[in-house]
Structure 1
Amino acid sequence: MEKKKSILFKILSNVYVKNLLLMALVLVVLITIILVALSYYTKHNETIAVPTIKGLQVDEAASILRASDLKYEIIDSVFLAGGVPGAIIDQVPKEMANVKRGRTVFLIVQAKSVQMVAIPELRDYSQRQAEAQLNSLGFNNIIIDHVPSAYVGLVMSLSYKGQQLTAGQKIPKGSTLRMAVGGGGEDTGVDSLEQENPATNNNTIEKSFFK
Protein backbone atom coordinates (compact mmCIF):
# COMPACT_ATOMS: atom_id res chain seq x y z
CA MET A 1 0.00 0.00 0.00
CA GLU A 2 2.81 2.33 0.94
CA LYS A 3 4.55 1.40 -2.28
CA LYS A 4 1.51 2.44 -4.32
CA LYS A 5 1.32 5.77 -2.46
CA SER A 6 4.98 6.33 -3.12
CA ILE A 7 4.50 5.76 -6.86
CA LEU A 8 1.48 8.09 -6.94
CA PHE A 9 3.42 10.73 -5.01
CA LYS A 10 6.30 10.53 -7.47
CA ILE A 11 3.92 10.88 -10.42
CA LEU A 12 2.14 13.89 -8.91
CA SER A 13 5.39 15.52 -7.90
CA ASN A 14 6.66 15.34 -11.47
CA VAL A 15 6.91 18.87 -12.89
CA TYR A 16 5.32 17.89 -16.22
CA VAL A 17 2.37 16.21 -14.52
CA LYS A 18 1.90 19.25 -12.31
CA ASN A 19 1.81 21.55 -15.32
CA LEU A 20 -0.71 19.34 -17.11
CA LEU A 21 -2.99 19.21 -14.07
CA LEU A 22 -2.71 23.00 -13.65
CA MET A 23 -3.61 23.57 -17.32
CA ALA A 24 -6.61 21.26 -17.00
CA LEU A 25 -7.79 23.12 -13.90
CA VAL A 26 -7.45 26.49 -15.62
CA LEU A 27 -9.35 25.18 -18.66
CA VAL A 28 -12.22 23.95 -16.49
CA VAL A 29 -12.43 27.30 -14.70
CA LEU A 30 -12.43 29.22 -18.00
CA ILE A 31 -15.18 27.04 -19.49
CA THR A 32 -17.29 27.51 -16.36
CA ILE A 33 -16.87 31.30 -16.49
CA ILE A 34 -17.78 31.42 -20.21
CA LEU A 35 -20.92 29.32 -19.74
CA VAL A 36 -22.09 31.48 -16.84
CA ALA A 37 -21.41 34.68 -18.83
CA LEU A 38 -23.26 33.40 -21.89
CA SER A 39 -26.22 32.35 -19.80
CA TYR A 40 -26.38 35.80 -18.24
CA TYR A 41 -25.83 37.68 -21.53
CA THR A 42 -28.47 35.79 -23.51
CA LYS A 43 -30.88 35.65 -20.56
CA HIS A 44 -31.24 31.91 -21.01
CA ASN A 45 -34.84 30.65 -20.71
CA GLU A 46 -36.12 34.22 -20.11
CA THR A 47 -38.67 34.77 -22.89
CA ILE A 48 -41.91 36.69 -23.27
CA ALA A 49 -44.89 36.28 -25.57
CA VAL A 50 -45.28 38.83 -28.36
CA PRO A 51 -48.57 40.69 -27.83
CA THR A 52 -51.27 40.86 -30.50
CA ILE A 53 -51.11 44.29 -32.14
CA LYS A 54 -52.64 43.64 -35.58
CA GLY A 55 -55.42 46.12 -36.32
CA LEU A 56 -54.04 48.74 -33.92
CA GLN A 57 -52.58 52.10 -34.85
CA VAL A 58 -48.80 52.34 -34.60
CA ASP A 59 -48.92 54.69 -31.58
CA GLU A 60 -51.14 52.26 -29.67
CA ALA A 61 -48.95 49.29 -30.61
CA ALA A 62 -45.78 51.16 -29.63
CA SER A 63 -47.04 51.65 -26.05
CA ILE A 64 -47.92 47.97 -25.71
CA LEU A 65 -44.58 46.82 -27.12
CA ARG A 66 -42.58 49.16 -24.88
CA ALA A 67 -44.47 47.86 -21.86
CA SER A 68 -43.36 44.35 -22.86
CA ASP A 69 -39.73 45.52 -23.26
CA LEU A 70 -39.90 45.07 -27.03
CA LYS A 71 -38.84 47.35 -29.87
CA TYR A 72 -40.61 47.88 -33.20
CA GLU A 73 -39.79 48.89 -36.75
CA ILE A 74 -42.10 49.64 -39.70
CA ILE A 75 -40.72 47.77 -42.72
CA ASP A 76 -43.47 48.31 -45.30
CA SER A 77 -46.79 50.02 -46.00
CA VAL A 78 -49.36 48.63 -48.42
CA PHE A 79 -52.77 49.76 -49.56
CA LEU A 80 -55.69 47.36 -49.13
CA ALA A 81 -59.17 48.35 -50.22
CA GLY A 82 -61.39 48.80 -47.17
CA GLY A 83 -58.47 48.90 -44.76
CA VAL A 84 -58.04 51.45 -41.97
CA PRO A 85 -55.27 53.94 -42.83
CA GLY A 86 -52.30 53.61 -40.47
CA ALA A 87 -53.48 50.31 -38.95
CA ILE A 88 -51.07 47.40 -38.55
CA ILE A 89 -51.75 44.70 -41.14
CA ASP A 90 -49.12 42.16 -40.12
CA GLN A 91 -46.34 41.64 -37.60
CA VAL A 92 -43.14 39.55 -37.44
CA PRO A 93 -42.72 37.63 -35.13
CA LYS A 94 -46.36 36.62 -35.00
CA GLU A 95 -48.53 37.19 -31.95
CA MET A 96 -47.88 34.89 -28.94
CA ALA A 97 -44.46 33.86 -30.29
CA ASN A 98 -41.86 33.49 -27.51
CA VAL A 99 -38.94 35.91 -27.88
CA LYS A 100 -36.26 37.44 -25.68
CA ARG A 101 -36.69 40.89 -24.18
CA GLY A 102 -35.42 43.71 -26.35
CA ARG A 103 -36.37 41.89 -29.58
CA THR A 104 -37.54 44.06 -32.51
CA VAL A 105 -41.03 43.39 -33.86
CA PHE A 106 -41.33 44.28 -37.55
CA LEU A 107 -44.60 45.88 -38.67
CA ILE A 108 -46.47 46.20 -41.98
CA VAL A 109 -49.05 48.98 -41.93
CA GLN A 110 -51.97 50.10 -44.08
CA ALA A 111 -50.93 52.98 -46.33
CA LYS A 112 -52.84 56.21 -45.81
CA SER A 113 -53.23 56.75 -49.54
CA VAL A 114 -53.22 54.66 -52.70
CA GLN A 115 -49.75 53.93 -54.04
CA MET A 116 -49.07 55.65 -57.36
CA VAL A 117 -47.19 53.63 -59.99
CA ALA A 118 -45.48 54.91 -63.15
CA ILE A 119 -46.62 53.23 -66.36
CA PRO A 120 -43.74 51.88 -68.51
CA GLU A 121 -43.42 52.29 -72.28
CA LEU A 122 -45.52 49.46 -73.73
CA ARG A 123 -46.39 50.62 -77.24
CA ASP A 124 -45.36 48.06 -79.90
CA TYR A 125 -44.75 45.45 -77.18
CA SER A 126 -46.49 42.09 -77.57
CA GLN A 127 -49.68 41.68 -75.55
CA ARG A 128 -48.07 38.96 -73.43
CA GLN A 129 -45.01 41.08 -72.59
CA ALA A 130 -47.12 44.12 -71.75
CA GLU A 131 -49.49 42.17 -69.51
CA ALA A 132 -46.55 40.56 -67.69
CA GLN A 133 -45.00 43.96 -66.97
CA LEU A 134 -48.28 45.43 -65.76
CA ASN A 135 -49.00 42.40 -63.56
CA SER A 136 -45.58 42.77 -61.92
CA LEU A 137 -46.47 46.39 -61.08
CA GLY A 138 -49.75 45.38 -59.44
CA PHE A 139 -52.19 45.83 -62.33
CA ASN A 140 -54.11 42.58 -62.67
CA ASN A 141 -57.41 43.83 -64.10
CA ILE A 142 -56.66 44.57 -67.76
CA ILE A 143 -59.40 44.77 -70.40
CA ILE A 144 -58.20 43.89 -73.91
CA ASP A 145 -59.71 45.64 -76.95
CA HIS A 146 -58.68 44.32 -80.37
CA VAL A 147 -58.49 47.11 -82.93
CA PRO A 148 -57.76 47.07 -86.70
CA SER A 149 -54.03 47.12 -87.27
CA ALA A 150 -51.44 45.88 -89.73
CA TYR A 151 -49.55 44.30 -86.82
CA VAL A 152 -51.39 41.54 -84.99
CA GLY A 153 -50.81 41.17 -81.24
CA LEU A 154 -48.88 44.39 -80.66
CA VAL A 155 -49.97 46.97 -78.09
CA MET A 156 -51.37 50.12 -79.69
CA SER A 157 -52.29 52.10 -76.57
CA LEU A 158 -53.12 51.88 -72.86
CA SER A 159 -55.96 53.82 -71.21
CA TYR A 160 -57.17 54.59 -67.69
CA LYS A 161 -60.71 55.92 -67.16
CA GLY A 162 -60.97 56.76 -70.86
CA GLN A 163 -57.73 58.71 -70.96
CA GLN A 164 -54.82 57.38 -73.00
CA LEU A 165 -51.68 56.95 -70.90
CA THR A 166 -48.13 57.94 -71.75
CA ALA A 167 -44.91 56.33 -70.50
CA GLY A 168 -43.97 57.57 -67.03
CA GLN A 169 -47.48 58.72 -66.14
CA LYS A 170 -48.49 57.66 -62.61
CA ILE A 171 -51.85 56.12 -61.73
CA PRO A 172 -53.20 54.33 -58.62
CA LYS A 173 -51.80 50.82 -58.19
CA GLY A 174 -54.32 48.09 -59.00
CA SER A 175 -56.48 50.28 -61.25
CA THR A 176 -58.47 48.80 -64.13
CA LEU A 177 -56.77 49.43 -67.46
CA ARG A 178 -57.83 49.09 -71.10
CA MET A 179 -55.26 47.87 -73.56
CA ALA A 180 -55.76 48.30 -77.31
CA VAL A 181 -54.07 45.45 -79.15
CA GLY A 182 -53.66 45.07 -82.91
CA GLY A 183 -56.12 42.56 -84.32
CA GLY A 184 -55.18 42.71 -88.01
CA GLY A 185 -57.53 43.59 -90.88
CA GLU A 186 -56.20 47.12 -91.51
CA ASP A 187 -55.68 48.19 -95.15
CA THR A 188 -51.98 48.89 -95.67
CA GLY A 189 -52.76 51.38 -98.48
CA VAL A 190 -50.88 49.43 -101.16
CA ASP A 191 -52.94 48.72 -104.28
CA SER A 192 -53.57 45.01 -104.73
CA LEU A 193 -52.99 45.16 -108.51
CA GLU A 194 -49.60 46.72 -107.97
CA GLN A 195 -48.74 43.94 -105.54
CA GLU A 196 -49.72 41.33 -108.11
CA ASN A 197 -47.80 43.01 -110.99
CA PRO A 198 -44.36 44.08 -109.72
CA ALA A 199 -43.20 44.53 -113.32
CA THR A 200 -45.78 47.28 -113.79
CA ASN A 201 -44.47 49.03 -110.69
CA ASN A 202 -40.91 48.92 -112.04
CA ASN A 203 -41.98 50.34 -115.43
CA THR A 204 -43.80 53.19 -113.73
CA ILE A 205 -40.74 54.02 -111.62
CA GLU A 206 -38.48 53.92 -114.65
CA LYS A 207 -40.80 56.21 -116.68
CA SER A 208 -40.98 58.73 -113.86
CA PHE A 209 -37.22 58.65 -113.42
CA PHE A 210 -36.36 59.25 -117.07
CA LYS A 211 -39.18 61.72 -117.76
Structure 2
Amino acid sequence: MKTVKNKNQGKKMLRKNFLYGVALVFAALIVCSIFLKFFTRHNEELAVPDFTTMTMDDAKALAKKSNLRLDVVDSVFIKRLERGVVYSQNPQAGDAVKKNRRILITINSNVPQMTIMPNVVGYSLRQASAELMSRGLSVGKLIYQHDIATNNVLSQQINGHKISSGSSIETETAVDLVLGLNPDDSRTYVPYVVGYTSDLAINALNDNSLNVGKILYDNTVNNYQDSIRAVVYNQTPMPSVHTKGDEERVEAKPLTRGSKVDIYLTIDPDKVASR
Protein backbone atom coordinates (compact mmCIF):
# COMPACT_ATOMS: atom_id res chain seq x y z
CA MET A 1 0.00 0.00 0.00
CA LYS A 2 2.81 2.29 0.90
CA THR A 3 4.46 1.71 -2.50
CA VAL A 4 1.23 2.52 -4.38
CA LYS A 5 0.83 5.71 -2.34
CA ASN A 6 4.37 6.80 -3.14
CA LYS A 7 3.79 6.15 -6.83
CA ASN A 8 0.64 8.32 -6.81
CA GLN A 9 2.50 11.12 -5.06
CA GLY A 10 5.28 10.84 -7.61
CA LYS A 11 2.80 11.09 -10.50
CA LYS A 12 1.17 14.16 -8.92
CA MET A 13 4.57 15.80 -8.49
CA LEU A 14 5.50 15.00 -12.07
CA ARG A 15 2.22 16.46 -13.35
CA LYS A 16 2.70 19.56 -11.21
CA ASN A 17 6.26 20.02 -12.49
CA PHE A 18 5.03 19.55 -16.04
CA LEU A 19 2.36 22.21 -15.59
CA TYR A 20 4.93 24.55 -14.02
CA GLY A 21 7.20 23.94 -16.96
CA VAL A 22 4.44 24.67 -19.49
CA ALA A 23 3.51 27.86 -17.62
CA LEU A 24 7.15 28.93 -17.54
CA VAL A 25 7.47 28.39 -21.31
CA PHE A 26 4.33 30.45 -21.97
CA ALA A 27 5.59 33.19 -19.69
CA ALA A 28 8.93 33.21 -21.52
CA LEU A 29 7.16 33.41 -24.88
CA ILE A 30 5.06 36.36 -23.69
CA VAL A 31 8.15 38.18 -22.39
CA CYS A 32 9.99 37.52 -25.66
CA SER A 33 7.01 38.75 -27.65
CA ILE A 34 6.84 41.99 -25.65
CA PHE A 35 10.59 42.48 -25.97
CA LEU A 36 10.54 41.89 -29.73
CA LYS A 37 7.66 44.32 -30.18
CA PHE A 38 9.53 46.96 -28.20
CA PHE A 39 12.77 46.30 -30.06
CA THR A 40 11.19 46.47 -33.51
CA ARG A 41 9.26 49.62 -32.64
CA HIS A 42 12.44 51.16 -31.29
CA ASN A 43 14.08 50.61 -34.66
CA GLU A 44 10.96 51.34 -36.69
CA GLU A 45 11.48 53.76 -39.57
CA LEU A 46 9.24 56.79 -39.93
CA ALA A 47 8.28 58.66 -43.08
CA VAL A 48 9.48 62.28 -42.93
CA PRO A 49 6.61 64.76 -43.27
CA ASP A 50 6.74 67.73 -45.64
CA PHE A 51 7.67 70.78 -43.56
CA THR A 52 8.19 73.16 -46.51
CA THR A 53 6.13 76.39 -46.53
CA MET A 54 5.08 75.77 -42.89
CA THR A 55 5.58 78.38 -40.20
CA MET A 56 8.13 77.43 -37.54
CA ASP A 57 5.40 76.91 -34.92
CA ASP A 58 3.49 74.53 -37.20
CA ALA A 59 6.67 72.73 -38.25
CA LYS A 60 7.76 72.22 -34.62
CA ALA A 61 4.32 70.90 -33.65
CA LEU A 62 4.35 68.42 -36.55
CA ALA A 63 7.93 67.34 -35.73
CA LYS A 64 6.98 66.67 -32.10
CA LYS A 65 3.94 64.67 -33.18
CA SER A 66 6.12 62.68 -35.59
CA ASN A 67 8.86 61.98 -33.00
CA LEU A 68 11.41 64.01 -34.95
CA ARG A 69 13.65 66.98 -34.13
CA LEU A 70 14.07 70.18 -36.16
CA ASP A 71 17.32 72.12 -36.50
CA VAL A 72 17.49 75.42 -38.40
CA VAL A 73 20.84 75.38 -40.21
CA ASP A 74 20.48 78.19 -42.76
CA SER A 75 18.28 80.95 -44.12
CA VAL A 76 17.62 82.44 -47.54
CA PHE A 77 15.45 85.26 -48.78
CA ILE A 78 12.86 84.36 -51.42
CA LYS A 79 10.61 87.32 -52.11
CA ARG A 80 7.83 85.15 -53.55
CA LEU A 81 7.73 82.97 -50.43
CA GLU A 82 6.11 83.94 -47.12
CA ARG A 83 8.68 85.21 -44.66
CA GLY A 84 9.70 82.97 -41.78
CA VAL A 85 8.45 79.72 -43.32
CA VAL A 86 10.45 76.58 -44.06
CA TYR A 87 12.13 76.84 -47.46
CA SER A 88 13.80 73.41 -47.65
CA GLN A 89 14.56 70.34 -45.54
CA ASN A 90 16.99 67.43 -45.34
CA PRO A 91 16.05 64.53 -45.32
CA GLN A 92 13.35 65.18 -47.88
CA ALA A 93 9.63 64.56 -47.35
CA GLY A 94 8.83 60.86 -47.68
CA ASP A 95 12.33 59.65 -46.74
CA ALA A 96 12.47 56.86 -44.12
CA VAL A 97 14.29 57.74 -40.89
CA LYS A 98 14.57 56.48 -37.30
CA LYS A 99 12.73 57.98 -34.35
CA ASN A 100 14.21 61.24 -32.98
CA ARG A 101 16.13 61.88 -36.22
CA ARG A 102 17.27 65.49 -36.72
CA ILE A 103 15.67 67.21 -39.72
CA LEU A 104 17.85 70.06 -41.01
CA ILE A 105 15.80 72.95 -42.34
CA THR A 106 16.44 76.21 -44.15
CA ILE A 107 13.98 79.01 -43.48
CA ASN A 108 12.95 82.01 -45.54
CA SER A 109 14.42 84.98 -43.71
CA ASN A 110 12.19 87.58 -42.06
CA VAL A 111 14.79 90.20 -42.98
CA PRO A 112 14.93 90.93 -46.73
CA GLN A 113 18.27 91.07 -48.51
CA MET A 114 18.89 94.45 -50.10
CA THR A 115 20.66 95.52 -53.27
CA ILE A 116 21.36 98.76 -55.12
CA MET A 117 19.27 99.73 -58.14
CA PRO A 118 21.51 100.19 -61.20
CA ASN A 119 20.91 102.68 -64.00
CA VAL A 120 19.86 100.75 -67.12
CA VAL A 121 18.39 103.72 -69.03
CA GLY A 122 19.94 103.76 -72.48
CA TYR A 123 20.71 100.04 -72.36
CA SER A 124 19.25 97.54 -74.80
CA LEU A 125 16.65 95.13 -73.38
CA ARG A 126 19.19 92.29 -73.32
CA GLN A 127 21.86 94.41 -71.62
CA ALA A 128 19.36 95.70 -69.06
CA SER A 129 18.16 92.16 -68.26
CA ALA A 130 21.72 90.97 -67.67
CA GLU A 131 22.52 93.96 -65.43
CA LEU A 132 19.36 93.52 -63.34
CA MET A 133 19.99 89.79 -62.90
CA SER A 134 23.56 90.47 -61.76
CA ARG A 135 22.10 92.64 -58.94
CA GLY A 136 19.62 89.95 -57.83
CA LEU A 137 16.70 91.73 -59.52
CA SER A 138 14.36 90.57 -62.26
CA VAL A 139 12.66 92.05 -65.30
CA GLY A 140 9.02 92.89 -64.68
CA LYS A 141 6.67 94.23 -67.35
CA LEU A 142 7.92 95.34 -70.73
CA ILE A 143 6.10 98.58 -71.56
CA TYR A 144 6.53 99.79 -75.15
CA GLN A 145 6.10 103.31 -76.43
CA HIS A 146 6.87 105.04 -79.72
CA ASP A 147 10.57 105.74 -80.21
CA ILE A 148 13.15 105.65 -82.94
CA ALA A 149 15.07 102.76 -81.36
CA THR A 150 13.25 99.49 -80.59
CA ASN A 151 14.14 97.89 -77.24
CA ASN A 152 16.10 100.91 -76.02
CA VAL A 153 15.37 101.41 -72.29
CA LEU A 154 13.70 104.81 -71.82
CA SER A 155 12.77 104.48 -68.15
CA GLN A 156 12.98 102.07 -65.20
CA GLN A 157 10.01 101.67 -62.85
CA ILE A 158 8.69 99.73 -59.86
CA ASN A 159 4.92 99.52 -59.42
CA GLY A 160 4.37 102.34 -61.90
CA HIS A 161 6.83 104.75 -60.30
CA LYS A 162 10.27 105.68 -61.58
CA ILE A 163 13.11 104.25 -59.53
CA SER A 164 16.38 106.16 -59.38
CA SER A 165 19.72 104.43 -59.68
CA GLY A 166 21.46 104.07 -56.32
CA SER A 167 18.19 103.36 -54.47
CA SER A 168 18.28 100.50 -51.97
CA ILE A 169 15.67 97.87 -52.87
CA GLU A 170 14.89 94.25 -51.95
CA THR A 171 16.47 91.50 -54.01
CA GLU A 172 14.14 89.68 -56.42
CA THR A 173 12.20 92.90 -57.00
CA ALA A 174 10.70 93.02 -60.48
CA VAL A 175 11.76 96.15 -62.36
CA ASP A 176 9.46 97.27 -65.17
CA LEU A 177 11.19 98.60 -68.27
CA VAL A 178 9.78 101.29 -70.55
CA LEU A 179 11.17 100.50 -74.01
CA GLY A 180 11.24 102.19 -77.35
CA LEU A 181 9.21 100.79 -80.25
CA ASN A 182 9.92 101.75 -83.82
CA PRO A 183 6.83 101.06 -86.01
CA ASP A 184 9.11 99.51 -88.62
CA ASP A 185 10.43 97.04 -86.05
CA SER A 186 7.38 96.33 -83.91
CA ARG A 187 6.92 92.59 -84.47
CA THR A 188 8.51 89.60 -82.72
CA TYR A 189 7.99 85.84 -82.60
CA VAL A 190 6.59 83.51 -79.95
CA PRO A 191 9.25 81.07 -78.71
CA TYR A 192 8.40 77.44 -77.93
CA VAL A 193 8.81 77.13 -74.14
CA VAL A 194 7.22 73.71 -73.46
CA GLY A 195 9.53 71.78 -71.10
CA TYR A 196 10.97 74.98 -69.58
CA THR A 197 10.70 75.90 -65.89
CA SER A 198 8.76 79.09 -65.19
CA ASP A 199 11.93 81.19 -64.77
CA LEU A 200 13.46 79.90 -68.02
CA ALA A 201 10.18 80.39 -69.87
CA ILE A 202 9.83 83.98 -68.62
CA ASN A 203 13.43 84.74 -69.62
CA ALA A 204 12.83 83.29 -73.10
CA LEU A 205 9.68 85.37 -73.53
CA ASN A 206 11.43 88.53 -72.32
CA ASP A 207 14.34 87.88 -74.69
CA ASN A 208 11.76 87.87 -77.49
CA SER A 209 10.24 91.18 -76.28
CA LEU A 210 7.14 89.45 -74.85
CA ASN A 211 5.48 89.58 -71.44
CA VAL A 212 4.35 86.54 -69.50
CA GLY A 213 0.59 86.64 -68.99
CA LYS A 214 -1.05 84.11 -66.67
CA ILE A 215 1.11 81.51 -64.91
CA LEU A 216 -1.20 78.58 -64.20
CA TYR A 217 -0.26 75.40 -62.28
CA ASP A 218 -2.19 72.13 -62.56
CA ASN A 219 -3.25 70.02 -59.56
CA THR A 220 0.12 68.20 -59.38
CA VAL A 221 1.75 71.37 -58.06
CA ASN A 222 0.98 71.59 -54.33
CA ASN A 223 3.74 73.70 -52.78
CA TYR A 224 6.58 76.11 -53.48
CA GLN A 225 9.12 73.35 -54.12
CA ASP A 226 6.74 71.81 -56.69
CA SER A 227 6.41 75.18 -58.41
CA ILE A 228 10.21 75.38 -58.80
CA ARG A 229 10.37 71.90 -60.37
CA ALA A 230 7.29 72.36 -62.55
CA VAL A 231 7.73 72.77 -66.30
CA VAL A 232 5.58 74.24 -69.04
CA TYR A 233 3.27 71.72 -70.73
CA ASN A 234 1.19 74.26 -72.66
CA GLN A 235 1.33 77.89 -73.73
CA THR A 236 -1.05 80.36 -75.32
CA PRO A 237 -0.41 81.29 -78.05
CA MET A 238 1.40 78.11 -79.08
CA PRO A 239 3.69 78.10 -82.12
CA SER A 240 2.67 75.53 -84.74
CA VAL A 241 4.76 72.34 -84.53
CA HIS A 242 5.17 70.32 -87.73
CA THR A 243 6.70 66.84 -87.90
CA LYS A 244 8.79 65.95 -90.92
CA GLY A 245 10.24 62.45 -90.67
CA ASP A 246 11.96 62.19 -87.28
CA GLU A 247 12.29 65.95 -86.95
CA GLU A 248 9.91 68.47 -85.41
CA ARG A 249 9.75 72.00 -86.74
CA VAL A 250 8.33 74.90 -84.79
CA GLU A 251 6.64 77.52 -86.92
CA ALA A 252 7.03 80.86 -85.15
CA LYS A 253 3.98 83.12 -84.91
CA PRO A 254 4.54 86.89 -85.20
CA LEU A 255 3.17 89.12 -82.43
CA THR A 256 3.49 92.79 -81.52
CA ARG A 257 6.29 93.38 -79.02
CA GLY A 258 4.96 93.58 -75.48
CA SER A 259 2.16 91.04 -76.10
CA LYS A 260 1.39 88.47 -73.40
CA VAL A 261 1.89 84.70 -73.49
CA ASP A 262 0.15 82.49 -70.90
CA ILE A 263 2.01 79.43 -69.61
CA TYR A 264 0.67 76.27 -67.94
CA LEU A 265 2.92 74.21 -65.67
CA THR A 266 2.99 70.69 -64.22
CA ILE A 267 5.31 68.16 -62.60
CA ASP A 268 3.61 65.33 -64.53
CA PRO A 269 6.14 64.22 -67.20
CA ASP A 270 3.39 62.52 -69.24
CA LYS A 271 1.70 65.87 -69.87
CA VAL A 272 4.94 67.33 -71.19
CA ALA A 273 5.75 64.23 -73.26
CA SER A 274 2.33 64.38 -74.92
CA ARG A 275 3.34 67.72 -76.39
TM range (shorter): 0.3 to 0.5
User: Which of 1 and 2 has greater Rg?
Assistant: 1
**Higher-helix-fraction structure:** 1
Task: Point out which structure has higher relative CO (alpha carbons under 8 A, 6+ apart).
Answer: 1
**Higher-strand-fraction structure:** 2
TM-score, normalisation: structure 2: 0.37
TM-score, normalisation: structure 1: 0.46
